[in-house]
Amino acid sequence: MLDSLQYLSRLLRQYPMLYSTLLIAPTVGVIQQLSIPYALKFILNAIETHSSIFNPMVIFIITWMLAKLLTRFQVWNSANDLSAISTQVREQVIQFFLNQPIQLQPIDTSTHAGKTANDLAQTIERIWGIFVWQCAPQLLSALFILIHIFYLNPLIAMNIMAYFCIQMMIIRLTFSKLQHGNLEHRKSYLSLLSNIHDLFQHPLNLHLFPAKDYLKIKIQKKQSQESFTRQTQIKTLNTLRFKVDCLSGCMLSLNFLILYRHPYLHLGDMSFIVLTSIHIIDLLWQCGHCLTELNQECSKLNYLSRYLKIHPPQKKIQVHISKGRIIMENIHFAYTRQKPIFNGLNLIIRENEITDIQSPSGHGKTTLLYLILGLLKPQKGRMMIDQYNINHLLPPQIRQLINVIPQVTQLFNKSILDNLSIAKPNASKKELLNALKLAYCEPFIERLKDGIYTNATLLSGGQKQQLGIARALLKPAPIWIIDEGLCAIDQNTHDQIMSTLIKRQPFKSLIMMRHRQRHIHFATREINLHRL
């Protein structure tokens, strides 16, 4: 929890304007909650003493209006900074996932990363909102009321304090029961959803068996359990509220009795005590609810903050690749609870060569690619790109040095032009069109109704691979890896693209990974990975 709060504090220090909100918002909240009781107090005192009520009315209106205006200003002012914090948090979470081997499972990871980033940003916003706009004003208002009532009549203030302490004890005793009930209700609710989902995942059962009996057996029992747990929660909460209401009635009765026995106060002071005594009941209940909610959000932040772990900054090395040579010395790697993939692998990818790496499925071709990209770390051994140890480079630096054309080109649900510009966001349209031309994309783009503005996800597998080549041509990288990246393209187009790449040579070293005998006549060196 402490780490999470320290992280929040670091975030706030980057946005000093939020500190003004932290100070002003609770003050404004107190003014809004107590302006009417105080205005009524001064007006009644003025009437009782036959004084003018003009001044109290004017002060009340001006104060109330200023509080409203300050609230609007602070909400508007803090909204920009909160949006910036949310953006920063999302970027850090995404960066965390990009640096993890979990990236090897893109579908699961993308869903999890997006949900985590949004959950974390929303949690921080909720913590800020609950604390600044609810908890702090309510606690300050209750404290202010107690101090003022203590000044008017200490007995009533002590009665309210006793009420508050007993209420907290009752809530504390019931809280664990409510938490357990929430857990049971969630379990029964998820079980019911799971059964309904299972039912419609296997609809054949409804046709093979009597639907009514099947529904009764599979659904009705779970539905009854869910209803029972929900009703139990409602009863528990209602019982708690009933106890608090009875306690509130006792507190108010004692206050009225004290006022009756000590009628020396002014009419305005008496009205203030009566109004605030009633108001403090809801105030303390809301405050307890907000503190519970705040505790839940802080627990959630504490769990999610593991995705914000800030490691000691690694010194960024200035990298200049002159050769594009990759050296792998004594590499050992094995996945968890599996046989070793590499057990002392020694491999050199030489500069100015086209290296053809062949291996059957399951012999480490993809693992080798992920090791080179830095997505996986060897358990033992050393990997070098020219004179640089890969372990000493930052992940973004490694990826900037390498162009990968995978077998399945991953494209966004955007136009061909938008997908192409990802490789070089500031590229001119002329550069983008030239890259498409070099990748022989022009013939199929000309046949498309919307041309380069066609949604890229509508392209065939081979066309997507050609777009992947065009994208790689826009990114200057000394090392190229084609991992079955041209396998879906017809032989003629394949040979044209390879000839263009070899002629232009936008790389210092090219690695081709394959199962089939297709690139072999372009390669200057062959490596059988499973024989090493």
Q: Is the pLDDT of residue 311 over 70?
A: no
- φ and ψ of 327, to 5 deg: -120, 125
Return the domain boundaries, the chain: 2-153+265-308, 326-531
Rounded to an integer, the average pLDDT of 527-532 is 77
pLDDT of res. 439:
92
Residue 426 has pLDDT above 60, yes or no: yes
Residue 329, SS3 per DSSP: strand
Taking residues 243-255, report their average pLDDT. 88
Residue 39 pLDDT class (50, 70, 90 cuts)? confident
In tens, the pLDDT along 113-132 reads: 677 778 888 888 888 888 88
Percent of the chain at pLDDT > 90 equals 10
pLDDT, tens only, 58-82: 888 888 888 888 777 777 777 777 7
Window from 161-165, 309-313, 411-415, 458-462 with minimum mean pLDDT: 309-313
Q: Give the pLDDT confidence of 366-389 residue by residue, as tens digits.
A: 888 888 888 888 889 999 998 888
pLDDT at 331: 92
Neighbours of 3 (CB within 10 A): 13
pLDDT band of 107, cuts 50, 70, 90: very low
pLDDT number for residue 16: 75
pLDDT(395) > 80: no
- On whether the CB atoms of residues 469 and 485 are closer than 8 A, the answer is yes
Residue 358 has pLDDT above 50, yes or no: yes
Q: What is the pLDDT of residues 432-474, one digit of tens each?
A: 999 999 999 999 999 999 999 999 999 998 999 999 999 999 9
Q: Kindly indicate the confidence band of residue 309, based on its pLDDT and cuts at 50, 70 and 90.
A: low
User: Mean pLDDT score of the chain, rounded to an integer?
Assistant: 81
The more confidently predicted of residues 162 and 316 is 162
Using the CB atoms, write b or e for 279-312: b if 16+ within 10 Å: bbbebbbebbebbeebeebbebbbebbebbeeee
pLDDT class for 520, splitting at 50, 70, 90? low
pLDDT of residue 295: 78
Dihedral angle, C-alpha 241, 243, 245, 251, nearest 10 °: -140
Q: Quote the pLDDT of residue 103.
A: 43
Contacts of 370 (CB under 8 A, 6+ apart): 101, 104, 376
pLDDT number for residue 37: 86
CATH fold of 326-531 reads: Rossmann fold (3.40.50)
pLDDT band at 105; cut points 50, 70, 90: very low
CA–CA distances in Å: residue 403 to residues 17, 398, 399, 413, 526: 43, 10, 7, 22, 20
**pLDDT at site 98:** 67
Mean pLDDT is lowest, of 5-9, 161-165, 344-348, 428-432, for 5-9
What is d(CA 470, CA 492) in angstroms, rounded to the nearest whole number? Answer: 17
pTM assigned to the model = 0.61
The pLDDT of residue 102? 42
State residue 328's pLDDT score.
Answer: 92
